[in-house]
Amino acid sequence: MKSRLTLIALAALLAACAGPEPKRPVAAEAAAAAVPQAFPQSGGSGATAAVELPWAQAFKGERLQKLIPLALANNRDLRIAALNIETARASAAARDADLWPTVNAGLSGSRTPTAAGGINSLYQAGLQVSAYELDLFGRLRGLSAAAAAQLLAAQSSQQAVRTALVASVANAEIALQADAALLKITRATLASREQSLDLTRQRYEGGIAAELDLRSAESSLQAARAVHAQAQRQRQLDENALALLIGGPLPADLPAPTGDLADFEPLAELPAGLPSEVLTRRPDIRQAEFQLGAADANIDAARAAFWPRITLTGSVGTASGDLSDLFKNSAWSFAPQLLQPIFDAGRNRANLASARASRDIALAQYEKAIQTAFREVADGLSSRATLAEQRAALAAQVDAETRRLDAAEQRYAAGVSNALDRLDAQRSLFAAQQSLVQVQSQRAQNLVALYRALGGGG
């Protein structure tokens, strides 16, 4: 009996040593090597890399310091990603359990009639190992490695969702700040055009201004009111979008948006770094890599299915015809079994072909993830300089249009020019101010996108 117990324990030991660690696929190395080694617009090396800058240090604004923690705690997409990790962890644990023998304790009894007219009683008690597979060819190890890689992929997916969530909250905040800036500009424009309309009406009633000037002033005022209503509606929509991201209503103590986007200026100093940093630190890249590793492990499992399967069934315990003598005698059984596939109508070959196709799909997805990451960083770097130039040019235009409007107001008050010149200056200034706010918003969004593309957001 001791020898049989030793054999079962040895089988368990083999199983315990069989759990593999997921390895980085060779194809992943080749795909990463195909990416250029440096970005043509990379920044200075003295600044802190995005991947090393947590969101709490990247976004200094008081509003974002309150909004982002709320989103990380309450957002449903992030919660689903966390539950997906638990599902993957349970699946990995189940696959690991296949490497160990299943031991059951049982007590049974039976009574059957004999040919002589008596009754034959049999009572049994002991431990049983049912259908334990010796994983000599790596089928179970492959399935276990695939499940472990899927768990790592789920964890990377959660980090990717977290990074995207931080960026989404920042972009929603940018939209609200832009709305506040537009509302401020629109209110000032409304007040100015109302004053202009009152002055034009007085001049019209006094016979100094023509009816055309009066109607033009009225049209200009109504156009400003339409823009104001649109800006109010857009602000409400952006607040609703932000509430969805944080998983609840906006906090009552949250400061009102001021229309200032200076909180995002520190992100302009982030360097590009090297593509290798993007490839190794971005969570979506790591997720695709782990999924590729899982596909490789599934190929190993499908290939091992062509080899024989050795299963062990055994038991150790006691048996007796009398219940009172049950634990006085020992009994054991040991039944090894070897199954070699001979004809399965092509099932194993089809499973292997499917695993290989899935691996090719995973490789293509991994390569696309790398290419997408490189493009996102390159686009962000390319846009950063041009948006800064565009913002400076529009700021200068707003300054020029402001001076032009002042001159037009003075000339109109002195009777040198007509109302149309003044209205044209008002419209040009309003349009330039709106364009400046839009470009400021785009630049802030570009900085957030670059921060995310470089692996930040932790």
pLDDT top residue among 96 and 455: 96
Sequence-separated (6 or more) residues with CB below 8 Å from residue 345:
none
Q: How far apart are CA 434 and CA 429, in angstroms?
A: 9
Sequence-separated (6 or more) residues with CB below 8 Å from residue 437:
178, 181, 182, 185, 259
Q: How far apart are CA 378 and CA 286, in angstroms?
A: 20
CA distance readout (Å), 77 to 55, 81, 165, 173, 287: 19, 6, 9, 19, 17
pLDDT bracket for residue 27 (50, 70, 90)? low
For 203-249, give the DSSP string: HHHTTSS-HHHHHHHHHHHHHHHHHHHHHHHHHHHHHHHHHHHHTSP
Helix (H, G, I), strand (E, B) or coil at 330: coil
CA distance readout (Å), 28 to 291, 353, 379: 11, 21, 24
Q: How far apart are CA 358 and CA 353, in angstroms?
A: 9
Backbone φ, ψ for residue 339 (5° rounding): -120, 125
pLDDT bracket for residue 130 (50, 70, 90)? confident
Are 213 and 200 in contact by the 8 Å Cβ rule? The answer is: yes
Q: How far apart are CA 104 and CA 40, in angstroms?
A: 65
Q: How far apart are CA 76 and CA 83, in angstroms?
A: 10
Is residue 187 pLDDT above 60, yes or no? yes
Tell me how far apart the terminal alpha carbons of the chain are, to the nearest angstrom: 57
Helix (H, G, I), strand (E, B) or coil at 417: coil
Quick one: CATH architecture of 20-99+136-306+348-453?
Answer: Up-down Bundle (1.20)
pLDDT at 324: 59
Q: How far apart are CA 412 and CA 211, in angstroms?
A: 16
Q: How far apart are CA 140 and CA 301, in angstroms?
A: 7
412-437 residue pLDDT tens: 888 788 888 888 999 999 999 999 99
pLDDT bracket for residue 221 (50, 70, 90)? very high
Are 419 and 200 in contact by the 8 Å Cβ rule? The answer is: yes
- Lowest mean pLDDT across 169-173, 312-316, 398-402, 433-437: 312-316
Is residue 10 pLDDT above 90, yes or no? no
- On whether the pTM is more than 0.85, the answer is no
Is residue 11 pLDDT above 70, yes or no? no
For 21-46, give the DSSP string: PP---HHHHHHHHTS-SS-TT---SS
The CB density around residue 56, as the number of other CB atoms within 10 Å, is 13
Backbone φ, ψ for residue 126 (5° rounding): 165, -165
Is residue 1 pLDDT above 50, yes or no? no
pLDDT bracket for residue 397 (50, 70, 90)? very high
Backbone φ, ψ for residue 112 (5° rounding): -130, 145
**Tokens at 163, concatenated:** 């990074």
207-217 residue pLDDT tens: 888 888 889 88
Edge-to-edge, what's the strand order for the sheet holding 103-113?
Answer: 103-113, 119-134, 309-320, 331-339
Q: How far apart are CA 338 and CA 313, in angstroms?
A: 11
**Tokens at 288, concatenated:** 């695709």
Closest C-alpha to 220, from 419, 438, 414, 436: 419
70-86 residue pLDDT tens: 999 999 999 999 999 99
Are 362 and 30 in contact by the 8 Å Cβ rule? The answer is: no
pLDDT at 49: 64
Q: How far apart are CA 119 and CA 66, in angstroms?
A: 80
Sign of CA dihedral 252, 255, 256, 259: negative
Q: How far apart are CA 152 and CA 85, in angstroms?
A: 8
Average pLDDT for the chain: 82
Domain boundaries, the chain: 20-99+136-306+348-453
pLDDT at 402: 95
Q: Which residue has the tokens 């986007």?
A: 261
Are 243 and 209 in contact by the 8 Å Cβ rule? The answer is: no
